[in-house]
């Protein structure tokens, strides 16, 4: 898709903010009625892609998902809320953060389940990489995430190079 000037105008983080809510059903769970980690990973990917699409206004592919911790179990009947936004844009790639919270509406609790960082690459219909407009942090929290994303990118690149070297052996 040709890039015009408007497409490359920097956009605030808030333009990419997305929220997705799922209710955990038996088909999402293991025999102990706890949410499957793989199902949550799928939802994280979807929530992350929403923010990446909104920001880049293009197709995107998931290039990488960083290390994930699952802090608390999620049970059948719980509500899972996934909030995502673009933390930082590099050139054709962008880091998206997804925060996952579980709510139990019977006992009125809310707990942090996981925080994930995903890298998406913008592509056209033929799969060619496209430049992504810059993202503008407007709050101290968004600025912190922007700064942290730069540090994480350096770590990712070092680690990727190490893996590529090992693969070539």
Ligand X SMILES: CC(C)(COP(=O)(O)OP(=O)(O)OC[C@H]1O[C@@H](n2cnc3c(N)ncnc32)[C@H](O)[C@@H]1OP(=O)(O)O)[C@@H](O)C(=O)NCCC(=O)NCCS
Residue 101 near ligand X by CB under 6 A:
no
Q: Contact with ligand X (CB under 6 A): which of 92, 97, 130, 149?
A: 92
Q: Contact with ligand X (CB under 6 A): which of 8, 14, 30, 91?
A: 91
Can you say how many angstroms the Cα of residue 161 is from the centroid of all Cα atoms in its chain?
A: 22
122: nearest Cα among 51, 22, 41, 65: 51
Q: From CA 32, how far away is CA 138, in angstroms rounded?
A: 43
Site for ligand X in 140-169 (CB under 6 A): 156, 160
Q: Contact with ligand X (CB under 6 A): which of 20, 29, 36, 63?
A: 63
Q: Contact with ligand X (CB under 6 A): which of 93, 102, 133, 142?
A: 93
In whole angstroms, how far apart are CA 109 and each of 35, 43, 100, 139? Answer: 17, 21, 14, 27
Give the x/- contact pattern for ligand X in 22-61, rule: CB under 6 A. ---------------------------------------x
Which one of 24-32, 73-81, 85-93, 109-117 is the stretch in contact with ligand X (CB under 6 A)? 85-93
Residue 136's CB: how many other CB atoms inside 10 A? 15
Distance linking the first and last C-alpha atoms of the chain: 38
Q: Contact with ligand X (CB under 6 A): which of 90, 99, 104, 136?
A: 90
Q: From CA 114, how far away is CA 63, in angstroms rounded?
A: 20
Q: Contact with ligand X (CB under 6 A): which of 29, 64, 79, 136?
A: 64
Instruction: Return the bridge partners of 56, or none.
Output: none
Interface residues toward ligand X, by CB under 6 A: 61-64, 90-93, 119, 121, 129, 156, 160
């Amino acid at each position: 898709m040709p890039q015009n000037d408007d497409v490359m105008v920097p956009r605030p983080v808030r333009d990419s903010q997305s929220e997705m809510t799922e209710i955990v059903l038996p088909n999402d769970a293991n025999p102990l009625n706890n949410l499957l980690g793989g199902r949550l990973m799928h939802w994280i990917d979807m929530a992350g892609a929403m923010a990446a699409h909104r920001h880049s206004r293009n197709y995107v592919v998931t290039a990488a998902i960083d290390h994930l911790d699952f802090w608390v179990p999620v049970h059948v009947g719980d509500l899972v809320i996934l909030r995502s936004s673009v933390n930082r844009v590099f050139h054709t790639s962008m880091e998206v953060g997804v925060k996952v919270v579980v709510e139990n509406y019977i006992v009125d609790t809310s707990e942090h389940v996981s925080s994930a960082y995903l890298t998406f690459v913008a592509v056209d219909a033929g799969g060619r990489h496209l430049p992504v407009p810059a993202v503008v942090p407007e709050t101290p929290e968004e600025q912190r995430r922007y700064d942290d994303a730069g540090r994480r990118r350096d770590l990712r690149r070092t680690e990727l190079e190490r893996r590529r070297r090992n693969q070539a052996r």
